[in-house]
Amino acid sequence: MAEASQMKVSDEIAITIDGMNKWYGSFHVLRDINLTVNRGERIVICGPSGSGKSTLIRCINALEEHQQGKIIVDGTELSSDLKNVDKIRSEVGMCFQHFNLFPHLSILDNCTLAPIWVRKTPKKEAEERAMHFLEKVKIPEQADKFPGQLSGGQQQRVAIARSLCMMPRIMLFDEPTSALDPEMIKEVLDTMIELAEEGMTMLCVTHEMGFARQVANRVIFMDAGQIVEQNEPEEFFNNPKSERTQLFLSQILGH
């Protein structure tokens, strides 16, 4: 279990967030966020609801606009230049709480659409790659079905495969298991663990503390729009420094 967390973290920097601030109207959602993510790092972000953790990772692929500070992803700075935004988005995969598969397209088409249209991959190659990743998430037999015919866990795995088909260098997960039945959480987490073991750079907003202990090499705790505490998982769970973190942990690990 400690093995995974010591794998392949390089010195190369994947994401730099420097003094980032964001407001919704006059509401200050993210306050002076500073974060550096190395390539191959697996970060779990947790915190109470409304603490800005989803907003933070949505800023990384520009689904949300930040108003102050710098975000540099893979050497490209996020600015209002649409070319940069599209470039970053094609490098950064994202999985959503509600999967957001395209319901009018088959599973296979869901996976091949972006490679064909954004990366200009030939159709045949895109389909081969899609099947490769669908096998990886263990649902190749569903390729011709439509998202509505799959269970939640299967849909989330398709969503992961869809992101992987773009060959991203970074994966963002926004509460990937919160909308799933308990039985299905494990199959999604297993897929994510496998991905982590292959050295994918991952930022994951989740409340799955078991997952955090097992794969993360850093846990970040956010509250009221700021990063309150970050540490290695062992230290974070066993020996939280701030009072707010202690309270949060006692509440979610209470039972």
Partner 1 sequence: MTDTSSQIAFVQKEPIPESPPPSTAAGPVKWMRDNLFSGWLNSLLTLAALWAIYVILSGTLPWLLNGVWNADSLAECREILNGKTGACFAVLAERWNQLLFGFKYPADLYWRPTLAFVLLFVAVAPVLFFDLPRKLLMFTALYPFIAFYLIWGGTIWSPIFALAGFAAWYMVFERLGKNSFVQGFFGGAAVAAIVWGIGSFITGAIAPEEPFLQAVPSRDLGGFMLNMMLGVTCVSLSIPIGIVLALGRQSDMPLIKIICVVFIEFIRGVPLITLLFVASVMLAYFFPPDSTVDLFLRVVIMITVFSAAYIAEVIRGGLAALPTGQYEAADSLGLDYPQAMRLIILPQALKISIPGIVNVAVGLFKDTTLVSVISMFDLLGMIRGPILASTEWNGVYWELLGFAALLFFVVCYGISQYSQWLERRLATDHR
Chain positions 76 to 105 lying near partner 1, rule: CB under 8 A, are: 82, 86-87, 89-90, 92-94, 96, 98, 100-104
Contact yes or no for 4/215 (Cβ under 8 A): yes
Is 63 near partner 1 (CB under 8 A)? yes
The nearer residue to partner 1, 83 or 124, going by C-beta atoms, is 83
Place of tokens 């994951």: 204
Q: Euclidean distance between the first and final Cα of the chain, in Å?
A: 23
According to CB under 8 A, which residues from 202 to 241 bind partner 1? none
Residue 215: closest CA among 189, 240, 245? 189
Angle between helices 152-164 and 182-197 (to 10 degrees): 20
- The mark string for 3-42 relative to partner 1 (x by CB under 8 A, - otherwise) is ----------------------------------------
- Find, among 1, 37, 10, the residue nearest to 172 by Cα: 37
Q: Which is nearer to partner 1, 24 or 117 (CB)?
A: 117
* Residue 9 to residue 16: CA distance in whole angstroms: 15
Query: In the complex with partner 1, which residue's Cβ is closer, 148 or 254?
Result: 148
Residue 189, interface with partner 1 (CB under 8 A)?
no
Q: Where on the chain is the footprint of partner 1 (CB under 8 A)? A: 61-63, 82, 86-87, 89-90, 92-94, 96, 98, 100-104, 113-114, 117-118, 146-149, 162-163, 166
